[in-house]
Amino acid sequence: MLIGLKKINSYVFYILVFILAQLAWMALLGLWIYWYVSNSIIFEEVGEQLSPQLDIDSPSTFIFVGGIILIVAVAFGMSVIFRNLNVQLRLNRLYDNFIANITHELKSPLAAIQLYLETLNSRELSAENKTKFINFMMNDANRLNNLINTILEISRLEQKKIAHDYSVFNGSKIISSLIQESAEQFQLEADKIKFNGNSDSRIVIDKNAMKIVIDNLVDNAVKYSAGKPEIEVKIEDKNKRFVFEFTDKGIGVEQKEVKKIFKKFYRVSDSNIPSVKGTGLGLYWVKEIIKSHGGKIFCTSEGINKGTTFQIELPIYGVSKKQLIKNLLKMKNKRSKHKNSGNEYE
């Protein structure tokens, strides 16, 4: 609570400084105008007496208009800086949150691994228990590895250092096969996933990146469902776009949160969530990947406990966003020339 208070204080402090700065330079301007006006009368009088034929009227409108433009420019600049500062402050706050989450996500599997190692070291165990414990340890090591990879991959994606491997696929086929693959990994029963709709459109995707998208969506469906998750996938073409909708029957998202959940480090803080795991990176990563595919992602939810739908739009090969898709495939061709290997088009 103390820390929260400190943060609010620093926020108020920045606003106060901003307002004071504005007041300061406006006051300065006022002083100058006052000085100019009071002196110009004297100048005029003195000037008229010395050389009545001199014309000093013309530059004043120019100075007046120019001055106003300058004032507007300064105010605009200041507010841009202020807005940026605001964004930074918000990001800092989210980052603190992220550090707390990541500490939990790193330390929990580490604690389990240490516990099992010390158990193995100090106790006589049956063969069955030994296998069980070793399996737990391997799972936790995997979890740590995935988490570390996520952090590294996201920073690479942000710096555009990631080498994408784009190919043309049949949209319907590739998306459903990726979802099934992911469902198997998360040990979901086959009948808990329903597929609707169809599309013959071809899409250009990086299969590995799209797998990450699907994995994150399935993972969220698992984490944010109170019982076993139920997933519905709808595939169709809409407005020259390939669209797939991924719906779970989980706890849903409040209306005010549907945009925020894609922000980096953002996590919905609500105690009615059945899992506390997570870092606030997953959906941000998903959005960035979709963006790099020239697509869009939206989240809709009818509210708490009414499930969540993620709608993903991707450009259709040969129909929409032709130039972008050409560039994506060019990247791939450049890479395959280097590797000198053929590529499978489906």
Partner 1 sequence: MNKKQKILLVEDEESLAVGLQFNLEEEGYEVVHAREGKQALEFYEKENYDLIILDVMLPYLNGFEIAEIIRKTNPQLPILMLTARTRKEDKIHGLELGADDYMTKPFHLEELLLRVKGMLKRKEWYAASIDSSPVFKFGKSEINFETLVCKSGDKSIRLTPHEAMAMQYLIERKGKPVSRKELLERVWNITSEVETRTIDNFIVRLRKYFEQDPSNPQYIKSVRGIGYLFENDA
Binding site for partner 1 (CB under 8 A): 2-3, 100, 103-104, 107-116, 118-119, 122-123, 129, 132-133, 136-137, 139-140, 271-276
Identity of the residue, 107 or 306, whose beta carbon is nearer to partner 1 in the bound complex: 107
Alpha-carbon distances, residue 152 vs 49, 98, 146, 294 (angstroms) = 78, 15, 10, 23
Cα separation, 97 vs 276, in Å, equals 13
Task: Compute the least distance from the CB of residue 7 to partner 1, in Å.
Answer: 14
Q: How many residues does the chain have?
A: 346
DSSP class of 47: H
Cα separation, 270 vs 220, in Å, equals 15
DSSP class of 340: T
Identity of the residue numbered 171: G
Contacts of 242 (CB under 8 A, 6+ apart): 171, 199, 201, 203, 235, 313, 314, 315, 316
Identity of the residue, 10 or 103, whose beta carbon is nearer to partner 1 in the bound complex: 103
Task: Compute the least distance from the CB of residue 100 to partner 1, in Å.
Answer: 7
Identity of the residue numbered 167: S
Residue 247 has phi, psi (to 5 degrees) of: -115, 130
Task: Compute the least distance from the CB of residue 106 to partner 1, in Å.
Answer: 8
Identity of the residue, 58 or 272, whose beta carbon is nearer to partner 1 in the bound complex: 272
Identity of the residue numbered 29: L
Identity of the residue numbered 233: V
Identity of the residue, 84 or 275, whose beta carbon is nearer to partner 1 in the bound complex: 275
Task: Compute the least distance from the CB of residue 250 to partner 1, in Å.
Answer: 13
Task: Compute the least distance from the CB of residue 139 to partner 1, in Å.
Answer: 7
Sign for the CA dihedral angle at 286, 289, 295, 296 comes to positive
Identity of the residue numbered 25: W
Identity of the residue, 238 or 277, whose beta carbon is nearer to partner 1 in the bound complex: 277
Identity of the residue, 109 or 295, whose beta carbon is nearer to partner 1 in the bound complex: 109
Identity of the residue, 91 or 273, whose beta carbon is nearer to partner 1 in the bound complex: 273
Radius of gyration of the chain (CA): 30
DSSP class of 228: S
Task: Compute the least distance from the CB of residue 102 to partner 1, in Å.
Answer: 10
Q: 3-state DSSP call for residue 312?
A: strand
Cα separation, 251 vs 143, in Å, equals 24
- CA angle, corner 94, sides to 307 and 145, nearest 5? 75
Task: Compute the least distance from the CB of residue 199 to partner 1, in Å.
Answer: 38
Task: Compute the least distance from the CB of residue 3 to partner 1, in Å.
Answer: 7
Identity of the residue, 278 or 315, whose beta carbon is nearer to partner 1 in the bound complex: 278
Identity of the residue, 119 or 185, whose beta carbon is nearer to partner 1 in the bound complex: 119
Going by DSSP bridges, is the β-strand pair 231-238/193-196 parallel, antiparallel, or unpaired? Answer: parallel
Task: Compute the least distance from the CB of residue 157 to partner 1, in Å.
Answer: 27
